[in-house]
Amino acid sequence: MKGLYSVLPPFAPDYSGVSSVFFELGGVMVINGADGCTGNVTGYDEPRFYSSTACVYSSGLRELNAVTGDESFIVERLKNEKGKFIALASTPTPAVIGMDQRAIAQKISTELGVPVYHFDTTGTYTYEKGASEAFARIAENMLIDMDEKIDNSVNLLGAIPLDYWNEVQIENIKEALIKRGIHINACWAMGSSLEEIRHSLKAQMNLVLSISALKAAKIMKEMYNISYVIGVPIGRGYSDVVADKIKQNLGSDMEKKEVIKKASNVKKMLIIGEQILANSIRKAVKLEYDIEDIKVASFFHMDKDLMESTDKFIDSEDSFEELLRKSDYDLIVGDPLFKIFLSPTEKKNYVELPHLAVSSRLYWDNYVCYTGEAGMEFLRSSL
Amino acid sequence: MRKIAVYGKGGIGKSTITSSLSAAISKLGYKVVQIGCDPKADSTINLTNGQKVTPVIQYLKEKGSCESLDEIAVKGYNDIVCIEAGGPTPGVGCAGRGIIMAFETLEDLDAFEEFKPDFVFYDVLGDVVCGGFAMPIRDGYADEVIIVTSGEKMALFAAGNIKMAIDSFGDKGYGRLRGVILNKRNIENEEEIVSRYVKDMDSEIIGIIPRDGNIQKYEEQNMTVIQGDIELPISKTIMDIAKSIVEGSEIQ
């Protein structure tokens, strides 16, 4: 049955995406719903939660509030909060009963005197949709207009643990770029404070690290004429390419580098994951190896302009099985949970790349480095 | 662009009046979109000469998502864009959530940017019974509400309830009440009863539609009386109400 997930667990929902973006920014994250949805965020989708003092609260919506349309309890509960802002995300119950998040946000903001950003998440979409709206809200409403620019500087957009696991992956990206003469201004939203992010317009460009941040990058291009490059520095070769693209956009002439490709036994490869990360792995592999047939597939939103003709958006377990059945891949890269669908032979040619939005805490201790100059090493022995 | 939501007791003639006003305003040279917000999906039938408009919810249920406005919008009489939100089968599901989903779909498809209407009419099922039915008057949707009533007690009671809901939304930036249209049922002292009630509601009557067999006559042919014969006295009455809506000042 199309749309029925009988093997894979539910993926991280849209409200977890919102929470992930704002988690480090010193605000109060309110998950409007019964407490289970907040438990889902803090227990399964947010690896930073247990070692952090970040405020992620449930609104504590109860049956009687839902039936009577009572919204005042949310304001009451937030009365003594001292966060820099409040992010209010909705869950299935408020979505179904049509609670007006915008009006509630306005009321809280008036009563408490802090900015409140509301998100009409429903819990029925996946994390990247919520994260995309959250990044877009930062771009639209939270930036400080300024003329000052830092030479050769970029903001990193789209860093959240649901795609990038932990700070180390982001540090690898920064290191690869800094080594190539690029200054990192702010990182949305791991490792930078709210103030640093609010000063993002100091940067000359944006580097988009995940599909969740593409909308925000487009908004910043439209509103502030800040161009963007899409890609994740992975391996030495592709880190050079990403850095060169940034520099070209900033007006520098680049020296053409000749790369001699290594031979590989792999002829057909499939990468399953977040689109921009998976695309970057593909480009990094193609740059170093003579593998032409590399397909990217994802259970999450894929931007049509970033897809190659054979790439595939997977809309159900059925389509995933069909995708695996149709081709004999010599090598598959993806979350360990996807191996369930493979035969024992295929499992031998599988490289595990845990995706927190898919397998959550099941594999979040099995750390794999997949960014920066060393970002190809997890794959190299299989190529 | 002005967006107007029409509310009133079930069976009071909201769809007939909304369609007639849409037709009349389009005859005044304005581009109009009418969105039926009722699971029955029959709001616009008199604007399309009976051609079926696929309700948004029905389309989503069958196809999963909607990629084009062409699938759910039909151009009817005088190029009025007709859309039906649709909803669940009677007795199951959630009609209110259906309206929310339909509106979100129209937003995703940039419906208003595409059609660039001067007027949008939301023809809403019955009373403001829950969050979904308040959706058409939320911030960003209709700025004005028109209530349709007769002089009958239950119709007035429903009108009072709707006004109460609008007032309770006062601090939320929702749509405000433009006024009441009396759709006469020819009960004794009807105009006087309704005038008194509307005054108590702190509103005004913006139009009185007398009972007229021509309305039913043309409805049987799936058209409004405006389309049927614009020269009839009833058509002229509706045209006058349309003009007063068009010329109406901003509601405080």
Please report, for the domain that includes residue B10, its CATH number.
3.40.50.300
| Strand-pair category, B81-84 with B32-37 | parallel
Chain B nearest CA to A94, separation (Å) = 9
Task: Look at A383 and B24; give whichever has higher pLDDT.
Answer: B24
Alpha helices in chain B (DSSP H): 14-27, 56-63, 95-108, 111-115, 131-134, 153-168, 190-200, 213-219, 225-228, 233-247
Chain A nearest CA to B118, separation (Å) = 25
Closest residue on chain B to A93 (Cα): B97
- pLDDT tens digits for A250-295? 776 666 666 788 999 999 999 999 999 999 999 999 999 999 999 9
Q: Is A97's CB within 8 Å of B96's CB? A: yes
Asked if residue B81 lies in contact with residue B118, where contact means CB atoms within 8 angstroms, the answer is no
- Tokens coding A173: 């990206």
Closest CA relative to residue A198, chosen from A155, A167, A231: A155
Out of B132, B171, B174, whose CB is closest to A98?
B132
Portion of chain A with pLDDT greater than 70, in percent: 97
Span of A94-98, A126-130, A377-381, B91-95 with lowest mean pLDDT? B91-95
Quick check: is B40 catalytic? yes
Q: Is B172's CB within 8 Å of A97's CB? A: no
Asked if residue B74 lies in contact with residue B103, where contact means CB atoms within 8 angstroms, the answer is no
Average model confidence (pLDDT) across chain B: 93
Question: Is A103 within 8 Å of chain B by CB?
Answer: yes
Task: Look at B60 and B129; give whichever has higher pLDDT.
Answer: B60
Residue B235 maps to a domain: no
CB pairs < 8 Å spanning A and B = 41
Q: What are phi and psi of A40, to 5 degrees?
A: -65, -45
Residue B240 maps to a domain: no
Residue B236 maps to a domain: no
**B37 vs A contacts (CB less than 8 Å):** none
Per-residue pLDDT, A254 = 62
Out of B130, B140, B173, whose CB is closest to A98?
B130
Chain B nearest CA to A21, separation (Å) = 23
Q: Is B97's CB within 8 Å of A95's CB? A: yes
Longest pairwise C-alpha distance within chain A: 69
Q: Which of B40, B42, B212, B217 is catalytic?
A: B40
Per-residue pLDDT, B171 = 77
- pLDDT tens digits for A338-360? 999 988 877 778 999 999 999 99
Closest residue on chain A to B134 (Cα): A98
Please check whether the two domains, A153-249 and A268-380, share a CATH topology. yes
Range of the domain at B201: 2-230
Closest CA relative to residue B146, chosen from B1, B13, B44: B13
Residue B238 maps to a domain: no
Which site among A97, A109, A125 would you substitute to test the B interface, given the most B Cβ atoms closer than 10 Å to its Cβ? A97
How far apart (Å, rounded) are the C-alpha atoms in residues B99 and A354?
39
Average model confidence (pLDDT) across chain A: 93
Question: Which residues have a Cβ under 8 Å from the Cβ of A219 and sit 6 or more positions away?
Answer: A136, A139, A140
Q: Is A98's CB within 8 Å of B173's CB? A: no
Per-residue pLDDT, B133 = 84
Per-residue pLDDT, A2 = 67
**B171 vs A contacts (CB less than 8 Å):** 107
Per-residue pLDDT, A162 = 96
Span of A10-14, A93-97, B170-174, B177-181 with lowest mean pLDDT? B170-174
pLDDT category, B172, cuts 50, 70, 90? confident
Whether B151 has a pLDDT exceeding 80, the answer reads: yes
DSSP letter for each residue of A129-197:
HHHHHHHHHIIIIIPPP-----TTEEEEE---HHHH-SHHHHHHHHHHHHHTT-EEEEEESSS--HHHH
Q: Which residues of B touch A (CB under 8 A)?
A: 64, 94, 96-97, 99-100, 104, 130-132, 134-135, 138-140, 169, 171-174
Residue B153 maps to a domain: yes
Span of A374-378, B111-115, B173-177 with lowest mean pLDDT? B173-177
- pLDDT tens digits for B26-54? 999 999 999 999 988 999 999 999 999 99
Out of A3, A100, A120, whose CB is closest to B131?
A100
Per-residue pLDDT, A332 = 95
Closest residue on chain A to B133 (Cα): A98
The count of structural domains within chain B is 1
Q: Is B172's CB within 8 Å of A100's CB? A: yes
What CATH number labels A268-380? 3.40.50.1980
What CATH number labels A14-125? 3.40.50.1980
Whether A242 has a pLDDT exceeding 90, the answer reads: yes
The reported pTM is 0.86
Per-residue pLDDT, B128 = 75
Residue B237 maps to a domain: no
pLDDT, mean of residues A241-248? 93
Span of A11-15, A77-81, A293-297, B106-110 with lowest mean pLDDT? A77-81
Residue B142 maps to a domain: yes
Closest residue on chain A to B173 (Cα): A103
Span of A112-116, A257-261, B56-60, B164-168 with lowest mean pLDDT? A257-261
Span of A43-47, A79-83, B38-42, B43-47 with lowest mean pLDDT? A79-83
- pLDDT tens digits for A185-235? 999 999 999 999 999 999 999 999 999 999 999 999 999 999 999 999 999
- pLDDT tens digits for B69-84? 999 999 999 999 999 9
Question: Is A97 within 8 Å of chain B by CB?
Answer: yes
Closest residue on chain B to A110 (Cα): B171
Give Cα separations from B99 to A97, A235, A268, B58 (angstroms): 11, 50, 47, 12
Question: Is A124 within 8 Å of chain B by CB?
Answer: no
Which site among B60, B97, B99, B133 would you substitute to test the A interface, given the most A Cβ atoms closer than 10 Å to its Cβ? B97
Amino acid letter for position A351: V
Residue A111 in 3-state DSSP? helix
Find the Cα–Cα–Cα–Cα dihedral B185, B186, B189, B193, rounded to 10°. Answer: 10
Q: Which of B9, B38, B123, B143 is catalytic?
A: B9
Whether B149 has a pLDDT exceeding 90, the answer reads: yes
Residue B32 in 3-state DSSP? strand
Task: Give this complex's ipTM.
Answer: 0.72
Question: What are the residue ranges spanned by the domains of chain A?
Answer: 14-125, 153-249, 268-380
Closest residue on chain A to B100 (Cα): A98
How far apart (Å, rounded) are the C-alpha atoms in residues B197 and B183?
14
Closest CA relative to residue A205, chosen from A183, A178, A179, A226: A226
Chain B nearest CA to A8, separation (Å) = 21
**B138 vs A contacts (CB less than 8 Å):** 100, 102-103
pLDDT category, A1, cuts 50, 70, 90? low
How far apart (Å, rounded) are the C-alpha atoms in residues B67 and B65?
7
**B64 vs A contacts (CB less than 8 Å):** 3
Question: Is A36 within 8 Å of chain B by CB?
Answer: no
Which site among A61, A93, A100, A318 would you substitute to test the B interface, given the most B Cβ atoms closer than 10 Å to its Cβ? A100
Per-residue pLDDT, A157 = 98
Per-residue pLDDT, B173 = 80
**B102 vs A contacts (CB less than 8 Å):** none
Residue B56 maps to a domain: yes
| Strand-pair category, B73-75 with B81-84 | antiparallel
Whether A125 has a pLDDT exceeding 70, the answer reads: yes
Per-residue pLDDT, B250 = 65
Question: Is A100 within 8 Å of chain B by CB?
Answer: yes
Query: Which class in CATH covers the domain with range A153-249?
Result: alpha beta
Q: Which of B31, B42, B118, B127 is catalytic?
A: B127
Closest residue on chain B to A103 (Cα): B172
Per-residue pLDDT, A194 = 96
- pLDDT tens digits for B116-141? 999 999 999 877 778 888 888 887 78
Quick check: is B14 catalytic? yes
